Structure 1
Amino acid sequence: MSLIKKKIHPNGPEMSHLIAGMMRLNDWNLTITQRIDFIEKCIDLGITTFDHADIYGAYTNEKLFGEALKERPDLRDQIEMISKCGICLTTENRAAHKIKHYDTTPDHINSSVEKSLQNLQTDYLDLLLIHRPDPLMDAAELADCLMNLISDGKILHIGVSNFTTAQYELLQSKLDVPLVTNQIEFSLLHLNPIYDGTFDQAQKLNFSPMIWSPFAGGRIFHEESGVAGRVRHHLEEMHQKYQADIDQIALAWLMTHPSNPLPVLGTGNVDRLKSAVSATEINLDRQDWFKLLKASRGHDVA
C-alpha cells in the first residue's frame, strides 16, 4: 500500500501522513547511492515528506541529503522538505557558539535558511519550523523576517516546534499568514499534548500537529519501568486482536487522535517504514484506546 497525501492546514501544504525524520541520517553511514535508494523507497511507500533541522548531525545531515538530490535533482519535485532552525549548538562546526542557546533574530534565521537551502540543494523549503521557543524572541521582528522569506520564495509555509499554545498564539498574532503546524513530542509515555491544550488548539485552528519521538525514543519497547511495562503488556495483549505488531498498535494509538497527528519516524530501516504504513490502516477500538491511556497514566479516567 501507499500513503495518500493530506493538507496539514486549510491554507498549508500537502504532506505525507507519515514523515521521514532525518535526525540520525549521519548514523546510518549510507553512500550517496544508498541515500538515493532510501529516498526512492520512501516515495514508493508514499512517504514523501522529509524532516530536517540545521543542527542535525552537528550541522552535517542536510548536506548528506543534499548530495543525494544533487545526483538526482528529479527527486526534488516528488518530495516535500521541512527544516527547522533557531537552536545554536556548541560544536566544532560552529566555533562561534560558546554555549548552547536559541537565536530567533533575523540575522540568524536568514543565515540558517540560506545554509539549509545550499546544503539541501534546493531553491525553497516547503515548510520552515522555528525549532524551540526562544525566551528572547521578538515576535514582531521574527514575523517580519519570516514574511520576507516567504516573499522571496525561499520558504512556502511557516510552523513551529515545541511551542506552548501561548507562544504559538503570540507569533501567529504578528504574522500575515497562518502557522500551519506545531511539531511536538507525543507518545504513550508522553501524554502532555492531550492535557496542556496543544491538541485542543490544533483542532481549533484546523492544523495537524507533527509528532516527534512517537515511540518515546524506543523506551516503550525496552524500558524497565512500571509505566513502560504496563503499556507494553497491553500492546502485546492487543497483538492478536488487531493482527499487528506492538509498534504498529502504538502508532495507531497516536493517529487515532482527532487532531490528525503526523508521526515523524526516525528510522532508516525500510521494513520498519513499511510496517508503519500498514499501521495507518488499523482502526483502534475506542475502549482499547482508553485501555492504553490507562496503562500510561496508571489509573482510570475520572
Structure 2
Amino acid sequence: MWRFRGTDVAAARALVEAAFDAGITLFDTADIYGPDNNEDFGAAEALLGRVFAEAPALRDKMVLASKGGISMGVPYDSSPAYLASAIDASLTRLRCDNIDLYQIHRPDLLAHPQEVARALDDARTAGKITAIGVSNHTPQQTAALAEFLPVPIVSHQPEFSALTTAPLFDGLFDQAMARGMAILAWSPLGGGRLANPQDARATAVAELLDKKAAETGVDRAAAAYSWIMAHPARPIPIVGTQNAARIATIPDAYKPQWTRAEWYDVLQASMGEKLP
C-alpha cells in the first residue's frame, strides 16, 4: 500500500475489494507512506481508515500489517516513547483498535534492542498489536531484538527480487527458515527495473522470465513473483500495483513452476556470473 493515495474513498475501497477478489488477504502499509506521494505523513493509513469507516467488515477480512520507526528528518526513532506514540497514531489513522502485524520499518542504530522490545511488548500486551516483525533488518539485528522479546519475531520484510538477491546470501532467508519467520518481499519487480530493463543484466533476467511466462501464458510480472515464491523460505511478494485490472492478475503467479536449472539460470543471470 505504498502508493495507496488520494481522497476518493470509493476508488480506494474498490482497490481493497479487488485484492480480496484476487484472494489477497495481507495488506501491508506504514505510517511513512504518504510523503513519497506528495501527501502528508500517515496519508496511506488515513485513507485505509476512511475505507474501514465506510465498510467496517473489510477490516476483519484482512491481515493488517503496518510499520513505524521512521520519523521525518531524524530519520529513525525506535525509542520507547516514540514507538508508543507511533503505534497509537497509526491506530487512530486506521480507525481500528489493533494491528495484526507491527514491524519496525528500519533499525534505529541509537536504540538498544531491549528498549525497542519493551515498547513493542507493551503494545502487544495492551492489545494494540498482535504480532511483531522487522523490515530492512539484518539477521544480527533481528537476533538481538529477539533476545529481549517474550514472543517470537514472526516476519522479515527485506527487498528481494530477481535483481536484488542479497537475502539469499546474507543469512536472512536462513534465519527465517530456522525460526519459522514469514518473508515479505518488497519491490519484487526490482523497483520497475524488470518491467523496463535499462542494462544488460536486467535484460538478461527479463528474457529468462519472459521465457517462463510464455510457457504458462502469464506476463513477466507473474513469472517474477513465481520465481520469488519458489524459494523454500516461501517469500510473499508485496505487490504494489494500484490498478484493479493488474490486481486481478496477481494469482497468475501460482501458474509457473520452476525447475532447479531454470531457477538457477535466473539467479546466475542476475549475478552476472556462474555459481561455482
TM-score category (smaller protein): over 0.9
Which residue of structure 2 lines up, in the alignment, with residue 23 of structure 1?
A: 2
| Alignment partner of 1:260 is 2:237 | no
Shift of 1:301: 1.2
Match for residue 184 of structure 2 among 210, 222, 232: 210
Aligned equivalents of 1:101, 1:139: Cα separation in 2: 17
Match for residue 45 of structure 1 among 22, 26, 29: 22
Match for residue 70 of structure 2 among 73, 83, 87: 87
Which residue of structure 2 lines up, in the alignment, with residue 77 of structure 1?
A: 60
Which residue of structure 1 lines up, in the alignment, with residue 147 of structure 2?
A: 173
Give CA deviations for 1:266-295 in whole Å, capped at 9, x if unaligned.
111122222221212322122111111111
Aligned equivalents of 1:151, 1:64: Cα separation in 2: 27
| Alignment partner of 1:282 is 2:256 | yes
Opposite residue 57 of structure 1, the aligned amino acid is G
Which residue of structure 2 lines up, in the alignment, with residue 227 of structure 1?
A: 201
Aligned equivalents of 2:26, 2:82: Cα separation in 1: 25
Give CA deviations for 1:222-264 in whole Å, capped at 9, x if unaligned.
1321111111122223333232211111111000000010111
- Equivalent positions of 1:231-250 (< 5 A) are 231-250=205-224
Aligned equivalents of 1:293, 1:56: Cα separation in 2: 31
Which residue of structure 2 lines up, in the alignment, with residue 140 of structure 1?
A: 114
TM-score, length basis structure 2: 0.94
* Residue identity (%): 37
Contact kept, 8 Å, 2:209 with 2:224, in 1: the verdict is: yes
| Alignment partner of 1:68 is 2:51 | yes
* Distance change >3 Å, CA 41–CA 240, structure 1 → 2: closer
SS in 1 for 2:134: strand
The Cα RMSD (Å) is 1.2
Aligned equivalents of 1:220, 1:131: Cα separation in 2: 25
Aligned equivalents of 1:269, 1:283: Cα separation in 2: 26
Opposite residue 34 of structure 1, the aligned amino acid is A
SS in 2 for 1:299: coil
| Alignment partner of 1:193 is 2:137 | no
Aligned equivalents of 1:273, 1:42: Cα separation in 2: 6
Contact kept, 8 Å, 2:213 with 2:256, in 1: the verdict is: no
Aligned equivalents of 1:239, 1:62: Cα separation in 2: 34
| Alignment partner of 1:121 is 2:95 | yes
Specify every segment of 5 or more residues in structure 2 that has no aligned partner in the other structure, as ranges.
36-40
More contact order relative to length (CA 8 Å, sep ≥ 6): 1
Specify every segment of 5 or more residues in structure 1 that has no aligned partner in the other structure, as ranges.
1-21, 90-98
SS in 1 for 2:129: coil
Which residue of structure 2 lines up, in the alignment, with residue 54 of structure 1?
A: 31
Contact kept, 8 Å, 1:255 with 1:261, in 2: the verdict is: yes
Query: Which stretch shows the higher mean deviation, 230-239 or 75-84?
Result: 230-239
Which residue of structure 2 lines up, in the alignment, with residue 104 of structure 1?
A: 78
Opposite residue 158 of structure 1, the aligned amino acid is I
Contact kept, 8 Å, 1:221 with 1:228, in 2: the verdict is: no
Shift of 1:141: 1.4
Which residue of structure 1 lines up, in the alignment, with residue 244 of structure 2?
A: 270
Give CA deviations for 1:57-87 in whole Å, capped at 9, x if unaligned.
1311111110111111121111121110001
Which residue of structure 2 lines up, in the alignment, with residue 11 of structure 1?
A: none
Count, aligned residues: 270
